[in-house]
Amino acid sequence: MLKMAIITGFLSQTKDRFHEYNSQISLDEKFELMNTIEGYDGVELVFPYEVKDAPTTKAALAKHNLKVAAVNVNVKAEPEFRNGGLTSTRADIRSKAVSFIQQAKDFAADIGADKVTCCPLGDGYEFSFQYDYATAWKNLVATLGEAAAYKNEIPLFIEYKPSETRGKCFVDTASKALCLLNDIKIANMGVTLDFGHSIYGNENPAEAVAMLAESQYKYYVHVNDNDGKWDWDYFCGTKHFLEYVEFLYYLKKYNYTDYFTSDTSPTRWDIKGTFEANSRLTNKIWTLLESIDLKALETLMGKGNYLETWKFIEQNIFSLK
């Protein structure tokens, strides 16, 4: 079985612009629910709004025998961060954003987590002539560099996303995330690759895996799906099945051993069933990849005749024989 985790905020009530879904439950109740979901032993916890007391959290993790895939630090919800925290034109706001990440690292150290991930969603823009792009980038390098240097034994991972809460996020692609890390110049950092963010950002998630794996930096993945138009957080394989197979193929090729964390929103669907679908499909595809002749597939890819490669896909992935 692969190492599977859940962003635990999705185990409780979620909202969109018009509706609320599921019931609000406590952290202990979320962990209790986790124990009923087949295929999972890990959690990604959102700091500081979901969790902030380390002793209480650590006791709950031990009680329910759960491991921590990551601590996800939220640097967007404070009123001061509405116009950007890490890239704010005000030094005091940038400093507060950095302190949030540093506090998340303190929390991660106290509960035994091995990474902090941050998606700087409040840092971006909507209109022409709204920001000085060079200054914003320099502020990102400075603030994230300061945050990453603090307790560097716990690496900071940067999650990229095309948009939300801003019309366009400054860190919106895998390549820009790597450019950012290259400018920061701290080796013990990483990129969080969310399959759905990559899809609706018009990337190929498998290509993003290859790019990150060939870099000097770590990477960590979130799994879900969407229609390519918005980050709907559907469960895996529902819209981009073959792309998800290729994504897993490259993760396998590069010996990915970290958690596959479900960043999936069970709105109209049963919570337990939704996350079990993610685990079930991901593990079945991984097992399939172990059973087929990947050397033969690589040879076909190298020859450049895609019609022959497609026959292999028909027979070995879709089982159309």
DSSP H stretches of helix in 52-114: 54-63, 91-111
Whether pLDDT at 208 is above 90: yes
pTM over 0.85: yes
pLDDT tens-digit series, residues 144-203:
999 999 999 999 999 999 999 999 999 999 999 999 999 999 999 999 999 999 999 999
Reference 100, options 125, 77, 68; nearest CA is 77
pLDDT at position 17: 85
Mean local confidence (pLDDT), 57-74? 97
pLDDT at position 321: 85
**Structural domains in the chain?**
4-292 (3.20.20.150)
Instruction: Residue 165: count other Cβ atoms within 10 Å of its Cβ.
Output: 15
Q: Are 156 and 189 in contact (CB under 8 A)?
A: yes
Residue 132, C-beta contacts closer than 8 angstroms, at least 6 positions apart: none
Q: What φ, ψ does residue 193 adopt, rounded to 5°?
A: -100, 110
Cα Rg of the chain, angstroms: 20
pLDDT tens-digit series, residues 98-153:
999 999 999 999 999 999 999 999 999 999 999 999 999 999 999 999 999 999 99
pLDDT tens-digit series, residues 236-271:
999 999 999 999 999 999 999 999 999 999 999 999
pLDDT tens-digit series, residues 13-61:
999 889 999 999 999 999 999 999 999 999 999 999 999 999 999 999 9
Q: Which one is predicted more confidently, 321 or 214? A: 214
- From CA 269, how far away is CA 14, in angstroms rounded? 12
Instruction: Retrieve residue 77's tokens.
Output: 């919800």
**151: phi > 0 → left, psi -120 to 50 → alpha, else beta; which?**
left
Q: Are 61 and 37 in contact (CB under 8 A)?
A: no
DSSP letter for each residue of 150-204: TTTTS-EEEE--S-SSSSEESS-SHHHHHHHHHHHT-SSEEEEEEHHHHHHTT--
Whether a cis peptide bond, with omega within 30° of 0, leads into 266 is no
Q: Are 154 and 113 in contact (CB under 8 A)?
A: yes
Query: What is the DSSP code (8-state) at residue 80?
Result: G
pLDDT at position 73: 97
Residue 136, C-beta contacts closer than 8 angstroms, at least 6 positions apart: 84, 87, 123, 125, 170
